[in-house]
């Protein structure tokens, strides 16, 4: 079987899985629900299992293997520049949309005795990055801590004086990475089963909570901000660098689909890496450095959600929303999004932390919660799309640098 026919067969399986998932969600039965839940949980566990070591190993190995010249400097500078630029743009778009639409307050809100399960303050998210146990971050899946450990370990390997020791460690890390990527190929082959489960549960949950009530304009603001960022702003970043947004989107479509249904950008990382290298032809030294970092700090969808949600709840609490206040919160939402973990509902709990720290009543989040499943899917897909764009842009910059030297 040729590569083209194999890709067509796999795309057909994806389409069939989505169709069966929609039908199973619309006409749910006991057996159908159990089957969908089983496959979705299996793949969520697989994504978590493979993504945590991939983040640690790829970042550590890439930093340890990088040279000390122009390539390393461009990787660092370009990744940070595009990450901050796209996230700041997402928060700005959300602020403009919120100010323009000006969603009305909810006049009468029944207070729910069920509190949002808030366990951490905003500063605690940064404190928790510093691990007190070398194994705890990997057991708990704390992506920020794993990223920090990988960065420090990679830098430490670089300064080892004995070259044979350094190369031995790099070879071991390379072997582990090869094993992980081989496991990713197995997971990708079975992925249509997971898509069936994710789609079924998504359709079922959507049908149960399809009531907008007084939150329509708020939801339009959040969804609109994500769509404008994904369909207009990010393609503009690519066009400015003379890159084709449509081709990039098609090449990364499999990862975007998984991100949409799994609601975890960190969990989607193995698929994102595979699509970036095999379909989008990004150099492995770029993708394996940029994408794990972006998965942790490049949260366009989270920045938009945080800004619109915090502004809406502050407005409902009697705070007048002014342009200077929006300007301040564009910066705050950008920084907060960078500190968010790429896991399901990460933005929701981070927004709750911010509001709680300002003594703003957060019981309205209980009303937003039923709709957050759909918002989370869209935000996660946008996050992975932004990660893909950043990796593509950095790859282009490196190619231009290499061409100018030759």
Q: Per residue of the chain (406 residues), give pLDDT as tens.
A: 555 556 567 678 878 888 898 898 888 788 888 898 898 888 877 777 776 787 678 778 777 776 665 667 778 888 889 998 999 999 999 999 999 988 877 644 444 434 444 445 556 656 767 888 888 777 776 666 777 788 888 889 888 888 888 889 989 988 988 888 788 778 777 878 888 887 787 777 666 655 455 578 888 999 999 999 999 999 999 999 999 999 999 999 989 988 888 777 877 888 899 999 999 999 988 888 889 888 877 889 889 998 998 888 888 877 788 888 898 889 878 877 775 655 556 677 667 766 765 666 666 676 676 677 788 889 889 999 999 999 999 999 888 877 776 6
Per-residue pLDDT, 159: 85
DSSP character string of 81-128: HHHHHHHHHHHHHHHHHHHHH-PPP-S--PPPSSPP-----HHHHHHT
- What's this model's pTM, rounded to 2 decimal places? 0.70
Contact by Cβ (8 Å): 374, 215: no
Q: Residue 2 falls within a domain, yes or no?
A: no
Per-residue pLDDT, 250: 93
Q: How far is CA 216 from the centre of its chain?
A: 25
Q: Is the CA virtual torsion 266, 378, 97, 233 positive or negative? A: positive
Nearest Cα residue to 270 out of 21, 37, 43, 17: 43
SS3 344: coil
Tokens for 359, please give them.
């003594």
Q: Residue 223 falls within a domain, yes or no?
A: yes
SS3 279: coil
SS3 266: helix
Contact by Cβ (8 Å): 92, 330: yes
Per-residue pLDDT, 393: 95
Q: How many CB atoms lie within 10 A of CB 228?
A: 18
Residue position matching structure tokens 């899946």: 141
Residue position matching structure tokens 């249904």: 261
**In the chain, what are the helix, strand and coil shares in percent, each to the nearest 5?**
80, 0, 20
Taking the CA atoms of the chain, what radius of gyration do you get in angstroms?
21
SS3 136: helix
Contact by Cβ (8 Å): 272, 187: no
Q: Residue 4 falls within a domain, yes or no?
A: no
Q: Is the CA virtual torsion 274, 345, 220, 335 positive or negative? A: negative
Nearest Cα residue to 86 out of 296, 197, 213, 233: 233
Q: Residue 80 falls within a domain, yes or no?
A: yes
SS3 362: coil
Q: Residue 21 falls within a domain, yes or no?
A: yes
Q: Residue 5 falls within a domain, yes or no?
A: no
Q: Residue 279 falls within a domain, yes or no?
A: yes
Range of the domain at 88: 10-405
Q: Residue 244 falls within a domain, yes or no?
A: yes
The conformation of residue 340, written as its DSSP 8-state character, comes to S
Residue 193 to residue 40: CA distance in whole angstroms: 8
DSSP character string of 138-150: HHHT-HHHHHHHH
Residue 67 to residue 55: CA distance in whole angstroms: 20
Residue 196 to residue 36: CA distance in whole angstroms: 7
Tokens for 204, please give them.
């079922």
Element (H, E) at 232: none
Q: Which residues of 151-181 are buried (b: 16+ CB within 10 A; e: fewer)?
A: eebbeebbeeeeeeebeebbeebeebbeebb
- Output the domain CATH number for residue 222: 1.10.3860.10
Domain count, the chain: 1
SS3 276: helix
Tokens for 199, please give them.
């789609």
């Amino acid at each position: 079987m040729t590569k083209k026919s194999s890709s067509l067969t796999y795309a057909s399986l994806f389409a069939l899985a989505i169709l069966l998932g929609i039908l199973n969600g619309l006409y749910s039965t006991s057996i159908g629900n159990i089957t969908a839940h089983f496959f979705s949980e299996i793949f969520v566990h697989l994504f978590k299992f493979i993504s945590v070591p991939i983040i640690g190993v790829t970042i550590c190995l890439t930093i340890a293997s990088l040279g000390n010249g122009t390539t390393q400097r461009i990787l660092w500078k370009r990744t940070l520049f595009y990450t901050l630029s796209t996230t700041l743009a997402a928060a700005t778009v959300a602020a403009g949309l919120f100010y323009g639409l000006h969603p009305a307050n909810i006049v009468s809100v029944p207070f729910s005795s069920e509190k949002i399960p808030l366990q951490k303050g905003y500063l605690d998210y940064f404190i928790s990055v510093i691990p007190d146990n070398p194994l705890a971050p990997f057991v708990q899946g704390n992506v920020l801590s794993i990223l920090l450990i990988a960065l420090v370990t990679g830098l430490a390997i670089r300064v080892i004086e004995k070259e044979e020791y350094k190369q031995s460690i790099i070879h071991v890390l390379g072997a582990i990475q090869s094993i992980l990527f081989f496991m990713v190929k197995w997971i990708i082959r079975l992925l249509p089963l997971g898509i069936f489960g994710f789609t079924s549960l998504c359709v079922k949950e959507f049908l149960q909570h399809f009531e907008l009530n007084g939150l329509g304009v708020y939801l339009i603001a959040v969804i609109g901000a994500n769509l404008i960022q994904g369909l207009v702003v990010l393609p503009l970043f690519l066009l400015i660098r003379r890159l084709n947004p449509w081709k990039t989107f098609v090449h990364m479509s499999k990862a975007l689909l998984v991100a949409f249904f799994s609601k975890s950008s960190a969990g989607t990382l193995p698929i994102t890496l595979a699509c970036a290298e095999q379909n989008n032809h990004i150099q492995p030294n770029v993708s394996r450095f940029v994408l794990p970092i972006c998965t942790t700090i490049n949260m366009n969808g989270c920045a938009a959600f945080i800004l619109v949600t915090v502004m809406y709840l502050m407005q409902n609490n009697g705070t007048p929303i002014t342009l200077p206040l929006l300007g301040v919160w564009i910066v705050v939402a950008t920084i907060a999004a960078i500190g968010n973990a790429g896991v399901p509902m990460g933005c929701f709990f981070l927004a709750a932390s911010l509001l709680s720290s300002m003594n703003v009543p957060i019981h309205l989040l209980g009303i937003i919660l039923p709709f957050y499943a759909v918002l989370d899917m869209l935000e996660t897909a946008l996050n992975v799309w932004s990660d893909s764009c950043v990796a593509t842009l950095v790859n282009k910059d490196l190619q231009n640098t290499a061409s100018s030297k030759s």
